[in-house]
Amino acid sequence: MTLMEFLNQISLVSFIVLLLSSSTTILNPVNAAESCNFPAIFNLGASNSDTGGLGAAFGELKSPKSPNGETYFHRPSGRFSDGRIILDFIAESFGLPHVHSYLNSLGANYSQGANFATYSSTIRIPESIVPNGKFSPFSLGVQVAQLKDFIPNTKFIRSQGGIFATLMPKEEYFSKALYTFDIGQNDLTAGFVSKGLPHLVRASVPDIVNTFSAHIKDIYNLGARSFWIHNTGPIGCFPFILTTFKVTLKDRYGCSKPHNEVAQYFNQKLKEAVVQLRQELPQAAITYVDVYSIKYSFVSDPKKYGFEQPLVACCGNGGFYNFNNKVSCGGTMDNGNHVGACEKPSTRPIWDGIHYTEAANKIVFDQISSGAFTDPPIPLNMSCQRTNSSIRENLHHVKLNKQGFGLYHVT
């Protein structure tokens, strides 16, 4: 072997090593980045993530009563579930305390976040609000206004020192925190109640999503950079929908097909909005989270999760779906008895006809936190990475070369 041939072989080996090294970086962009260390969580949303907001605002009128909370907290905890909700599991995964409601100041510690969500909240301002109407007065715009007020007030309280200063988040937490969202379901429900026909509700979806995008931009302008956005679930599978509305067209699993189609359309427009937001807010890491698919699988394949009667509420009062609009879970019936829960909530996905059991919430969390149901497909603990919005796009352009050096194409 001549000296020139030897040097050429070394160059070829070096090239292959370099190519393999580069492909590893391209194929594993998440692994190359550091895990997120969120110091706080700020949540905005509706009842799926309410930890006591509307109950604090309206007391006995809207507080969830026993048996809510029986599985984990062993008492009503402001959550509409037998135990923990998805937000609780998100907080626990980062070693953070459960996020206290902004409206419930009694015993609250906001040093690692705050929750602005309330039961029956909507993205747009609702026409009918509690206490005389059906929906929360704390729509998303109001929650954003509360957050805007919260930030400078915490700074002032910290500057005063003392015990109250220790209960406030540090100033830098607002830019480093995870901002979570679960809202939009009630906008669709409000439309179904007022308009009746699902296709009329569908027509309002673009404006609902545009309003949501505008509020995301407002929060971004406050310094938020990491966004975790849930889509809406299969509302056509809720006992509430199946009992309240005359459903004539059902899918093979017994869910209302027209109502689910509206939910799917909302999710489609929301995903499109997220893509647009990534372009307009280049410093933000925005993750779209598909909870719809997981929740629908509770109905389409309940045995996979050990569930039974997936369309029947665990805590309810009579009827085919064990749901009564007049007397909800924990309420008092005409005979003086309280509406109780099924014997084993862990075997049911639906808790009260609208919300989910702790068992179902835990499964949803496990799935979405892995990145299997997110766009981009990254785990929760990597969702602060700014590059996450381009991971899928980067992988899409990686081609399998003729030599098979480990590069591949992702569809």
Query: Can you give the pLDDT at residue 10?
Result: 42
Q: Is the pLDDT of residue 24 over 60?
A: no
What distance in Å separates the CA atoms of residue 127 and residue 58, rounded to the nearest whole number? 18
Distances, alpha carbon 316 to alpha carbons 150, 304, 321, 359, 403, in Å: 37, 24, 8, 17, 62
C-beta of residue 72 within 8 angstroms of C-beta of residue 83? yes
**Residue 336 binned pLDDT confidence (cut-offs 50, 70, 90):** confident
Return the ∠ at Cα 50 (arms to 49 and 53), rounded to 5°: 155
| Predicted pLDDT at 160 | 97
The pLDDT mean for the chain works out to 88
Task: Name which of 6-15, 212-221, 239-248 the model is least confident about.
Answer: 6-15
Model confidence pLDDT, tens digit, residues 100-133: 999 998 999 999 999 999 999 999 999 999 999 9
How large a percentage of the chain has pLDDT more than 70?
86
pLDDT surpasses 90 at 159: yes
pLDDT level of residue 1 (50, 70, 90 thresholds): low
Give the Cα-Cα-Cα angle 148, 270, 185 (nearest 5 degrees).
75
Superfamily of domain 37-396: SGNH hydrolase (3.40.50.1110)
- Which pLDDT belongs to residue 71? 98
* Confidence at 196, pLDDT banded by 50, 70, 90: confident
Q: Which among 30, 34, 35, 16 has a CA at the least distance from the CA of 395?
A: 30
The neighbouring-strand residues paired with 374 are 289
**pTM of the complete model:** 0.88
Residue 23 burial (CB < 10 Å; 0-12/13-18/19+)? middle
pLDDT of amino acid 121: 98
Which residues participate in catalysis according to the annotation?
47, 352, 355
The DSSP bridge partners found for residue 129 are 135
Work out the average pLDDT over 299-308.
98
